[in-house]
Structure 1
């Protein structure tokens, strides 16, 4: 334990009393369960040309179990909040750590901005469908942004309570839909075609790619370390619970949606109308009221994701401010709320400026905002998953040679390398544009990593302990 990173008391600390359940709620909320089922599952079926979506989620879950094993094993040696960057710093050096922190910040910010655009468009349609006025998407994006900013400014437990209510609501409607489908059965009854070689389909790699989206944010358990009670046990439990819940929930629910649309016939249904695949299934099995509730909760799911990404982005800005990458005044915790309130406010202002620019340029919120921003986000996060597992492998190899943890982390490196390659090859599909646009979006995380390495000056190394930053 002599290798534990020591506290530096000059940094003001974040505080909280989050338990395992609260942290799991925030992480799973970031994964946006209903949104993934409504947006990703139809694409997994249509582009994957098969009904193997449940297997895709299980494969992705297995990859993240390998990731989580090394991640939580190293937690005791990186006794600080901070998720990616602290682990990368311990295993691969301070420069790589700062580079990874900037990549994480950029990835979460990009994903959040994409969700703001998507949510504004979906909310505009919902209001119009229910007889309300026709409002521009960006007006509603600003409203959502303001609410997220207000909640992010205050104590983290307020966000946890809001997310808990929203998450329970969206999971409840999905569980009810799953149960009704399995009890009634689809046109072919209930089959196990999704778990056969024939059902997996020729584009299974694409299905796994979209399944990976469902696990975005699982590593964020560690970023709430200083706001958790008994963090050593809480973070470990929360990480495993989050991965397990996401994998099983998505696998079972995607299987139910496939069965509800006629098993093998679901490929044609998803291809014909992917946008309404899940909503129409809810209407068929839960009636018009159930369909309307599902449509409303889809918006709730997107809001929960936006709030989660705002909180994570604010905490990365907070740590980077304390490292001198951003203005140090942004790295001060609120004396009453004990939250990164200044960083949260800056994130809100920056988000408003970017969304405002998108609105002036008249960009399409789905095709020209959500897609490209999502491309930046998933590429950056996939690279960080890989870097983190590589850091864990190197760290434990240095500690005691080849151990069980080293082997598992090494397996995660191989699996995550394959995942990153899969993402890069299919980035034009994710971005929804040209190969050139996909290449530019994919290069953004690399540019942020390089900037992080360049700004990690020798002077900063002597004045600050990088891995201690999120203790503020």
Structure 2
């Protein structure tokens, strides 16, 4: 099935849908790409980070993000439109910084989607050739999958949710089976306790470990992006946010601990350093047999596809929010009359992804060592800046508005979350050249691009404010009323 080629019916109305907690959590956890993290991030964290204690880093990062989520969710009822970072920063720090955050978020999600597009092209090629198939350029597979994502993104959000749900359950299941078998059998040398030892947790390259761990959570905050498509946003969004964080954090920590236990502490570090690309599949082969190893390789590809589709949906909704605020062409802020989807915004995101992949292919970049590494590093830096600014916006919003006087929710937890995020940001900046291949010049160039993108949003907002200055307000400016059923505020 292909996207319609004729002019699609359009509507300037808001997005529609009836997503529940489960559907949103599926999309957010799929964006985190659990199997991809276990197969790709865990070996790097164990081999180049803090060794066998790396599972504890997931728990520490999850704790910081839970503190961030407290203020994020407390502010949710007071931010009545979709847009996540954009709307939070706009309400807390003003429209110019809000638009700057929106442009930075769009660049961040475009970068992480491009990173996974590179990875999946290489993964599919490796899978096909391992079964005796022809070897073709990685970008051929990437462009084919891009077409599938474009069709799913164009249609109703609940179709994407169902696709992601099936893929997510399959990839989580095989890892949980591995976890259970290793735990029951007691590991190679007993179950690892390294994650409980503070000396081991703080050993090695802790900054590298934190970078890899925090990057594994990218996308969890996207729960707020689906506000207009949630069944009961004031209840659904907070529940989905907390659920996604807890599920992701526990899954990463337990699964990485099980894999370390499967090898033994010292052997796990050695194996992860020597063969990071096959660390998970080798573990599955040893503990579950060759058939499960082949299945894990296949599910890795579907995990990458699920991540791409989820990131696409998030990015499209930033296009949609910016179109609605006239920071991008107004057509991006329209919805499809039949699907209720941001179809123009979705097509715009598909177009941007297509351009990026074509540029990378023409430049002859390696899909993993360069496309994936550089773009994933860019996204990690961008999302940490966004979360830090959003946390500050939450603090300022509640201090100024006084609409919620709960000290823990509006002051203490957000302040602690901001402190934790700033530490993570400092560690990421300090180790950024390592994350994107060891080039300080490239690291500086990427940081400059992100800064310029954010600045462009600020400038557009200031120009819009200047152009509207002195224009008399309309005689009546009724507030937008959401007439959809089942959108009553939480009691």
- State the TM-score, normalizing by the size of structure 1: 0.94
Residues 379-394 of structure 1: pairs in structure 2 closer than 5 A: 379-394=381-396
Shift of 1:279: 1.1
1: CA distance, partners of 2:137 / 2:207: 37
Which residue of structure 2 lines up, in the alignment, with residue 124 of structure 1?
Answer: 125
Query: When the two structures are aligned, how many residues end up with a matched partner?
Result: 461
1:438 aligns with 2:443: yes
Residue 92 of structure 2 corresponds to 91
Match of 1:425 among 426, 430, 450: 430
The aligned counterpart of 2:264 is: 262
Q: Tell me if the contact between 2:32 and 2:216 (Cα under 8 Å) persists in the aligned partners.
A: yes
1:426 partner SS: helix
> Whole-Å Cα distance in 2 between the matches of residues 96 and 152 of structure 1?
28
In structure 1, what is the equivalent of residue 275 of structure 2?
A: 273
**Which sections of structure 1, spanning at least 5 residues, go unmatched?**
1-9
Per-residue CA deviation, residues 182-233 of structure 1 (Å, 9 max, x unaligned), is 1122221223222212432222232122110121011100000110101100
- Larger mean CA deviation between 265-274 and 88-97 belongs to 265-274
CA RMSD of aligned residues (A): 2.1
Contact 2:207/2:428 (CA < 8 Å) preserved in 1?
Answer: no
1:62 Cα deviation (Å)?
Answer: 0.3
1:336-368 Cα shifts (integer Å, max 9, x gaps) = 000011111121122212211221221111122
- Residues 192 and 264 in structure 2, CA contact (< 8 A), matched pair in contact too: no
User: Residue in 1 aligned with 2:284?
Assistant: 282
Question: 3-state DSSP class of the match of 1:316?
Answer: helix
Aligned-partner SS, 2:109: helix
Structure 1 residues 87 and 49, CA, compared in 2 at 3 Å: closer, same or farther? closer
Going from structure 1 to structure 2, the CA distance change for 1:402 and 1:252 (only over 3 Å counts) comes to closer
Structure 1 residue 402: Cα displacement:
8.6
> Quick one: structure 1 residues 57 and 146, their matched pair in 2 at CA, closer, same or farther if it must change by over 3 Å?
same
8 Å CA contact 2:106, 2:318 repeated in 1: yes
2:207–2:431 Cα contact (<8 Å) kept: no
| TM-score of the superposed pair, with normalisation by structure 2 | 0.90
Separation in structure 1 between the aligned mates of residue 454 and residue 264 of structure 2, nearest angstrom = 46
Which residue in the other structure is 1:164 paired with?
A: 165
Larger displacement relative to structure 2 (409-418 or 157-166)? 409-418
Correspondence for 1:3: none
Match of 1:403 in 2: 407
Equivalence map 1:26-425=2 (5 Å): 26-200=27-201, 201-400=203-402, 403-404=407-408, 405-425=410-430
Q: Give secondary structure in 1 for the equivalent of 2:51.
A: coil
Q: Distance in 2 between matches of 1:96 and 1:219?
A: 18
Change (3 A) 1:315 1:266: same
> What displacement does 1:11 show?
4.6
CA shift, 1:443, in A, is 2.4
Deviates more, 1:239-248 or 1:189-198: 189-198
8 Å CA contact 2:192–2:260 kept in 1: the answer is no
From 435, 447, 455, give the equivalent of 1:450.
Answer: 455
| Conservation of the 8 A alpha-carbon contact between 2:227 and 2:233 | yes
Distance 2:104 2:352 in 1: 17
